[in-house]
């Protein structure tokens, strides 16, 4: 009756959790679960995307392995969550990219970088690539601004479209049991607060379970650095676009100006955050991780790291003959990041936000939960 073995296993475990309910104070997954008596695939995908994988419930569970019930919600929901990206991918025929995500991203990134280098050479000549370009409009002597806008605008627009279509499918499916209509604004605001603070990555207050039973808050810190670093870099690009079109000021800008400052701070945050998350992933208790999809997480983090690292390198080397090559590499990486966004770990943020919104909505509507939680008797 479930589409996959992972969903059937999630159903089995959620049924045990729903009869126990000791974890209901830890995060949103359990109160959301309590609103159900049975679990359709869409419900499980919703719960899986609500899970931040902090691991607290695993450490607190009296039924985790070696108990015969073998409950391991973080790992089980990680599997379901990773599968759900594929389930809702748009267009459907590209869903397979998730399976070989690490490889796909490496190939796309390598091709993207190569294409930009070759494109620069073809557009100018090889000497130009290694010449020193300085002053306003230096970047555009290698690649005209309009060409950049068309290429990146198209890649970005495609990513947004594909992400929206996937999210739409997820949203509809997660409403399979309790459809909620209207009342979006307040719930979205609540979800923004929950997502921006990573409210549910705190293990109920003490931090994440990582390598052992001693909780730490490192993953939340690194995730914050990554997420806000990404936003700052995105802000730098947006600011640059405004400078260009509104004020007619051409990049590169002086080091102290807003776009380079945002880019530098964001880039440093991204570098530290992604390295920290990669290290945490490496050390994490395998019982909490969906090992089969580790490549997808790693590939995404590496892409973010490369985006930041090449951006910082470009900034540092922009007055040297290496500028042309760094620009080509950086643009190639960013272009590949855009293209692969809808088919990699990036989508976790989108679906998690949708799930948090859906949770805020259902909370506000106060669905009755079946049965009352009981004492310890």
- Would you say 32 or 270 has its CB closer to other proteins? 32
* Residue ranges in 65-84 that form contacts with other proteins under rule CB under 8 A: 65-69, 72
Residues with Cβ within 8 Å of 346's Cβ and at least 6 positions away in sequence, in order, are 163, 300, 340
Q: Please pick, from the candidates 135, 179, 248, 374, the single residue that binds other proteins as defined by CB under 8 A.
A: 374
* Smallest separation, CB 206 to other proteins (Å): 7
- Would you say 72 or 83 has its CB closer to other proteins? 72
- Would you say 63 or 249 has its CB closer to other proteins? 63
Rounded CA gap, 166 and 174, in Å? 12
The candidate with the shortest Cα–Cα distance to 162, out of 356, 357, 338, 303, is 338
* Residue ranges in 200-239 that form contacts with other proteins under rule CB under 8 A: 204-206, 212-214
Contact 44, 78 (CB under 8 A): no
Rounded CA gap, 325 and 335, in Å? 15
Rounded CA gap, 63 and 183, in Å? 38
Q: Can residue 373 be called a binding residue for other proteins (CB under 8 A)?
A: yes
Q: Can residue 92 be called a binding residue for other proteins (CB under 8 A)?
A: no
Q: Please pick, from the candidates 47, 51, 54, 61, the single residue that binds other proteins as defined by CB under 8 A.
A: 61
* Residue ranges in 167-196 that form contacts with other proteins under rule CB under 8 A: none
Residues with Cβ within 8 Å of 75's Cβ and at least 6 positions away in sequence, in order, are 58, 287, 288, 289, 290
- Would you say 244 or 365 has its CB closer to other proteins? 365
Q: Can residue 364 be called a binding residue for other proteins (CB under 8 A)?
A: no
* Residue ranges in 341-360 that form contacts with other proteins under rule CB under 8 A: none
* Smallest separation, CB 37 to other proteins (Å): 5
Q: Can residue 287 be called a binding residue for other proteins (CB under 8 A)?
A: yes
Q: Can residue 1 be called a binding residue for other proteins (CB under 8 A)?
A: no
- Would you say 35 or 318 has its CB closer to other proteins? 35
* Smallest separation, CB 258 to other proteins (Å): 43
* Smallest separation, CB 327 to other proteins (Å): 46
- Would you say 254 or 366 has its CB closer to other proteins? 366
Q: Can residue 64 be called a binding residue for other proteins (CB under 8 A)?
A: yes
Candidates 133-141, 250-258, 321-329, 367-375: pick the segment binding other proteins (CB under 8 A).
367-375
Candidates 14-22, 111-119, 253-261, 297-305: pick the segment binding other proteins (CB under 8 A).
14-22
SS3 string of the chain?
CCCCHHHHHHHHHHHHHHHHCHHHHCCCHHHHHCCCCCCCHHHHHHHHHHCCCCCHHHHHCCCCCCCCCCCCHHHHHHHHHHHHHHHCCCCHHHHHHHCCHHHHHHHHHHHHHHHHHHHHHHHCCHHHHCCCCCCCCCHHHCCCHHHHHHHHHHHHHHHHHHHHHHHHHHHHHHCCCCCCCCCHHHHHHHHHHHHHHCHHHCCCCCCECCCCCCCECHHHHHHHHHHHHHHHHHHHHHHHHHHHHHHCCCCCCCCCCHHHHHHHHHHHHHHHHHHHHHHHHHHCCHHHCCHHHHHHHHHHHHHHHHHHHHHHHHHHCCCCCCHHHHHHHHHHHHHHHHHHHHHCCCHHHHHHHHHHHHHHHHHHHCCCCCCCCCCCC
Q: Please pick, from the candidates 45, 49, 53, 59, the single residue that binds other proteins as defined by CB under 8 A.
A: 59
Candidates 98-106, 172-180, 317-325, 369-377: pick the segment binding other proteins (CB under 8 A).
369-377
- Would you say 134 or 373 has its CB closer to other proteins? 373
Q: Can residue 15 be called a binding residue for other proteins (CB under 8 A)?
A: yes
* Residue ranges in 19-48 that form contacts with other proteins under rule CB under 8 A: 19-26, 31, 34, 37
* Smallest separation, CB 373 to other proteins (Å): 4
Hey, what are 81's tokens?
Answer: 């969550």
Contacts with other proteins, residue ranges (CB under 8 A)? 15-16, 18-26, 31, 34, 37, 56-69, 72, 204-206, 212-214, 285-288, 369-377
């Amino acid at each position: 009756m479930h589409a996959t073995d992972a969903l059937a296993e999630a159903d089995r475990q959620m049924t045990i959790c729903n009869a126990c309910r000791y974890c209901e104070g830890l995060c949103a997954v359990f109160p959301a679960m309590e609103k159900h008596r049975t679990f359709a695939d869409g419900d499980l995908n919703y719960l899986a995307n609500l899970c931040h994988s902090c691991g607290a419930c695993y450490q607190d569970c009296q039924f985790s392995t070696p108990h015969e019930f073998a409950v391991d919600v973080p790992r089980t929901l990680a599997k379901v969550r990773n599968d759900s990206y594929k389930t809702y991918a748009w267009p459907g025929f590209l869903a397979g990219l998730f399976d070989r995500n690490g490889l796909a991203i490496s190939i796309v990134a390598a091709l993207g970088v190569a294409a930009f280098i070759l494109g620069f050479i073809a557009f100018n000549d090889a000497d130009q690539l290694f010449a020193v370009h300085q002053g306003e409009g230096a970047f555009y002597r290698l690649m005209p601004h309009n060409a950049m806008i068309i290429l990146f605008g198209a890649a970005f627009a495609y990513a947004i479209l594909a992400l929206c279509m996937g999210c739409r499918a997820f949203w509809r499916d997660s409403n399979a049991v309790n459809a909620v209509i209207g009342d979006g604004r307040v719930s979205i605001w609540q979800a923004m607060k929950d997502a921006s603070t990573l409210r549910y990555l705190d293990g109920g207050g003490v931090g994440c379970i990582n390598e052992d039973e001693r909780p730490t808050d490192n993953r939340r810190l690194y995730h914050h650095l990554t997420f806000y670093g990404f936003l700052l870099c995105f802000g730098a690009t947006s600011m640059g676009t405004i400078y260009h079109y509104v004020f007619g000021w051409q990049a590169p800008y002086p080091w102290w100006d807003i776009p380079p400052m945002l880019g530098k701070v964001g880039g440093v945050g991204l570098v530290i955050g992604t390295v920290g998350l990669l290290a945490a992933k490496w050390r994490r208790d395998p019982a909490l991780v969906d090992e089969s999809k580790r490549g997808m997480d790693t590939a995404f983090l590496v892409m973010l790291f490369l985006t930041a690292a090449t951006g910082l390198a470009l900034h540092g080397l922009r007055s040297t003959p290496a500028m042309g090559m760094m620009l080509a590499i950086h643009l190639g990486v960013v272009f590949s990041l855009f293209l692969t966004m809808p088919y990699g770990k990036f989508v976790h943020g989108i679906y998690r936000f949708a799930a948090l919104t859906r949770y805020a909505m259902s909370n506000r509507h106060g669905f009755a939960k079946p049965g009352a939680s009981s004492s310890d008797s």
